[in-house]
Structure formats: structure tokens, C-alpha cells
Amino acid sequence: MQYTGSCHCGKTKYTVEGELNAVNECNCSICRRKGTLLWFVPRSALNLETPDNHLSTYTFNQHVIQHRFCPDCGCSLFEFAHAPDGTPTAAINVRCLDGVDIDALPRHHYNGKAL
């Protein structure tokens, strides 16, 4: 299935392909503060309609995850990293997807705080 997403101000838009069956809720220092609900897909499943250089990036700790956000409205859209097997991965903030009932999705709690 294809989903559309955007930031709050609408300057950043994208589509993502895949089966959205559940989300991950992480308690690490940044996810807890942002309130993200994450859906992991291969990076190739994400299609940016806005040029990549129009987004801002934040990294912390080991600087291996790129937290991407709109520099105008500050909305956290997705994160780029690599899966354990090296596959480029995108963690989509499901709260930014259009028409998704996030309350209907099962949540898997991830203890990122312990890392």
C-alpha cells in the first residue's frame, strides 16, 4: 500500500510503500520527547517529493541515525539508518502520514533507553 505524508507546514512531502501493521514506540531520550511512532521500511520504499537538501538533520550519541525534520515547522518526519544486515532503512514517523488511524495500530515498545 502507498501512503502519503508531510510535515505540519506542508513544505516537505513524501510517499512510502509497504504494509503498515504495527508501530514501534521507543523510550530513548529523543523518541520519548518527540512522541514518535516508528514504522521501519527499506530506504528505497520512501520517495521524497521535496528535495533532500530542504530537510535538516540532527544526530546525537554515536551519530549513526540521521533524524530528519522540516527546518520551517520543526516536524520530525523520519530517520535514516542501516539495519543490522547493512540495508539502508527509513524509520517513518507514522504520526505524519495522512489518513492513518494510529490508535488502531498495535504498538511494540522498544527499550531504547537501555542502549
pLDDT per residue as tens digits for the range 98-112: 999 999 999 999 988
Q: How far apart are the first and last CA of the chain?
A: 33
Q: Is the pTM of this model over 0.85?
A: yes
Distance separating alpha carbons of residues 43 and 16, to the nearest angstrom: 9
Query: Residue 3 forms beta bridges with which residues?
Result: 16
> Taking the domains of the chain in order of start, what are their residue ranges?
2-105
Considering the domain delimited by 2-105, tell me its CATH architecture. Beta Complex (2.170)
The whole-number pLDDT of residue 112 equals 86
Q: What does residue 48 show for φ and ψ, rounded to 5 degrees?
A: -80, 130
The whole-number pLDDT of residue 48 equals 97
pLDDT tens, the chain, 115 aa long: 999 999 999 999 999 999 999 999 999 999 999 999 999 999 999 999 999 899 999 998 888 899 999 999 999 999 999 999 999 999 999 999 999 999 999 999 998 888 7
Rg (CA), the chain: 13
